[in-house]
């Protein structure tokens, strides 16, 4: 997180900004010391991540500290942090805000800081991870296996969904939604003329080469270009569905090498409220076999517009709410909106290709499956392999992506349930508004109401829409 913040979010427009950047680097050892203190306390209480969590953290430390000035070799390429600092310092020189002599002096100080204090801080964390890793379970288990795990999981479900649903209730909602969506997927299977079962169609979609770009730089660029094509087209239709549009532009980028993981989830990073920095939809592209083309359009709408970019950008721009509500994230609302946006994009004219529409249903069933496997792992004591197999049996997701997803659910209990629960609530309040207002229902006004107060817990969102309905009658 810290290198990502410094590289992608910490602007250096003045010498004071650069000094602030360096001061944060100097505090890295204190931050890591606090992190280690908390981690040691958790481990002493018998609370640990599975062993794969330690491996992920160690691999990221290796990526961050690879290259100069962390390496003793003169031939080493620059590390991500060092490259970023040099680029930002050089920009100040180019803008006439810093002399070349002062820049050289500063960069020498920063180089020593990185090679000594920062590297030492990372090495101390890595040493503890290697030591404690030996006590972590190699067979990943849900939080039921941890002290007070059941109570903790119930708390996490309430925190993530913001509604009062038990693990059993969420599990059943997931099973019901999986069955419903498979019925819709079967219709598309027949539409494209596939002769076989739905599971055989899943295998065909996973394995046929027509659904993947080559694992080359050209293939990666084609993937980015197609994302931009879909997002540019949907942007033209946004004014028909939204009264308010965000100031910040949207860009699609590959994740930086130091934090890229094959099969990891694509994600959105917010821009600035004034639009001076764009929102960015990031994609992990080291292994193109984890990025099926038939899922591309769906993910673009979820992460970009009308999804996270639309919702988060508008939230940041709000001026008539307390400031914390322009930044606060409620997962069920934020991710519920992202999933609702995939469904909305179909209404807006997206997904003309049947395989892409199948990808949309695949995206929705993916979130329904999350309800089943998250509660399965953490409340019903499913093994990692049981969760993987259920996922593969009921969706077209690639095995690599599925295994990455399941590890995420194990490491962050409850979080994955928020998406589908949030989507269902937004669809529910929209149906209520449509039924109550009839021909007076205005989709633009409805969306502005939903987006106009920040990322609300779902009961408060429902109350806000109910109040709008009453005021409109």
Residue-wise pLDDT for 412-470, tens only, equals 999 999 999 999 999 999 999 999 999 999 999 999 999 999 999 999 999 999 999 99
Q: How many angstroms separate the CA atoms of 66 and 234, rounded?
A: 40
Q: How many angstroms separate the CA atoms of 464 and 457, rounded?
A: 11
Give the CB-side neighbour count of residue 331, counting CA atoms within 13 A: 18
The helix or strand, by DSSP H or E, that contains position 283, with its residue range, turns out to be strand 279-283
With CA atoms as reference, report the closest residue to 237 among 248, 245, 249: 245
Q: How many angstroms separate the CA atoms of 409 and 140, rounded?
A: 11
Q: How many angstroms separate the CA atoms of 158 and 418, rounded?
A: 10
Taking the alpha carbons of 140, 142, 143, 147 in that order, is the dihedral positive or negative?
negative
Q: How many angstroms separate the CA atoms of 81 and 67, rounded?
A: 10
Tell me the backbone φ, ψ of residue 77, rounded to 5 degrees.
-70, 160
3-state DSSP assignment of residue 430? helix
- The full length of the chain comes to 473
388: number of Cβ within 10 Å: 18
Q: How many angstroms separate the CA atoms of 175 and 373, rounded?
A: 10
Residue 7 is predicted with a pLDDT of 87
- Count Cβ atoms within 10 A of the Cβ of residue 318 and give its class: 0-12 exposed, 13-18 middle, 19 or more buried: middle
Residue 263 is predicted with a pLDDT of 57
Structural domain boundaries in the chain: 2-138, 151-420
Residue 134 is predicted with a pLDDT of 94
* 220 Cβ contact partners less than 8 Å away, ≥ 6 residues apart: 213, 254, 285, 288
The helix or strand, by DSSP H or E, that contains position 126, with its residue range, turns out to be helix 119-133
- pLDDT one-digit tens code per residue, 136-145: 988 899 999 9
Q: How many angstroms separate the CA atoms of 254 and 260, rounded?
A: 9
Give the CB-side neighbour count of residue 154, counting CA atoms within 13 A: 6
Instruction: Output helix, strand, coil percentages for the chain, rounded to the nearest 5.
Output: 70, 5, 30
Tell me the backbone φ, ψ of residue 347, rounded to 5 degrees.
-65, -30
Percent of the chain beyond pLDDT 90? Answer: 82
With CA atoms as reference, report the closest residue to 372 among 227, 200, 168, 211: 168
Contact indicator for 303, 268 with CB cutoff of 8 Å = yes
**Cα→Cα distances 82→5, 98, 320, Å:** 14, 18, 41
3-state DSSP assignment of residue 309? helix
Q: How many angstroms separate the CA atoms of 9 and 446, rounded?
A: 32
Strand partners, 267: 282
Contact indicator for 14, 40 with CB cutoff of 8 Å = no
259: number of Cβ within 10 Å: 18
Residue 74 is predicted with a pLDDT of 57
Contact indicator for 46, 149 with CB cutoff of 8 Å = no
44: number of Cβ within 10 Å: 8
User: What single string gives the DSSP state of each residue in 360-421?
Assistant: HHHHHHHHHHHHHHHHHHHTS---HHHHHHHHHHH----HHHHHHHHHHHHHSTTGGGHHHH
402: number of Cβ within 10 Å: 23
Q: Which residues of the chain have pLDDT under 70?
A: 72-75, 260-264
């Amino acid at each position: 997180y810290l290198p990502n913040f410094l590289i992608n979010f910490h602007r250096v427009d003045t010498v004071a900004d650069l000094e602030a950047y360096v001061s944060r680097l100097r505090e890295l050892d204190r931050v890591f010391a606090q992190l280690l203190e908390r981690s040691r306390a958790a481990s002493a209480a018998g609370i640990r991540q599975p062993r794969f969590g330690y491996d992920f953290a160690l691999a990221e430390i290796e990526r961050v500290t690879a290259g100069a000035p962390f390496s003793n070799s003169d031939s080493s390429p620059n590390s991500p942090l060092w490259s970023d600092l040099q680029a930002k310092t050089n920009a100040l020189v180019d803008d006439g805000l810093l002399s070349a002599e002062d820049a050289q002096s500063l960069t020498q100080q920063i180089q020593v800081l990185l090679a000594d204090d920062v590297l030492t801080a990372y090495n101390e964390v890595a040493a503890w991870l290697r030591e404690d890793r030996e006590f972590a379970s190699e067979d990943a288990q849900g939080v039921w296996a941890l002290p007070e795990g059941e109570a903790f999981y119930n708390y996490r479900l309430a925190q993530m969904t913001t509604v009062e649903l038990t693990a059993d209730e969420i599990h059943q909602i997931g099973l019901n939604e999986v069955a419903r969506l498979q019925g819709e997927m079967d219709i598309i299977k027949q539409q494209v003329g596939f002769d076989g079962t739905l599971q055989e169609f899943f295998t065909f979609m996973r394995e046929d080469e027509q659904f993947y770009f080559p694992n080359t730089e050209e293939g990666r660029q084609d993937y980015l270009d197609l994302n931009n094509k879909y997002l540019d087209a949907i942007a033209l239709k946004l004014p028909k569905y939204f009264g308010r549009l965000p100031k910040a532009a949207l860009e699609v980028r590959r994740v930086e090498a130091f934090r890229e993981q094959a099969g990891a989830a694509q994600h959105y990073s917010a821009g600035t409220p004034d639009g001076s920095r764009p929102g960015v939809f990031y994609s992990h592209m080291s292994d193109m076999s984890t990025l099926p083309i038939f899922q591309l359009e769906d993910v673009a709408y979820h992460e970009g517009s009308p999804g996270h970019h639309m919702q988060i950008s508008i939230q940041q721009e709000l001026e008539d709410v307390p400031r914390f509500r322009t930044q606060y994230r409620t997962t069920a609302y934020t991710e519920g909106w992202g999933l609702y946006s995939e469904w909305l994009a179909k209404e807006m004219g997206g997904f003309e290709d049947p395989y892409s529409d199948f990808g949309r249903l695949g995206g929705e069933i993916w979130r329904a499956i999350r309800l089943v496997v998250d509660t399965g792992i953490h409340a019903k004591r499913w093994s990692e392999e049981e969760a993987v197999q259920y996922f593969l049996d009921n969706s077209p997701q690639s095995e690599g992506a599925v295994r990455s997803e399941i590890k995420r659910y194990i490491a962050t209990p409850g979080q994955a349930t928020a998406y589908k629960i949030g989507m269902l609530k937004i669809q529910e309040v929209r149906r209520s508004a449509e039924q109550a207002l009839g021909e007076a229902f205005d989709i633009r006004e409805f969306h502005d109401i939903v987006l106009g107060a920040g990322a609300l817990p779902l009961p408060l969102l429902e109350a806000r829409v109910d109040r709008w309905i009453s005021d409109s009658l």
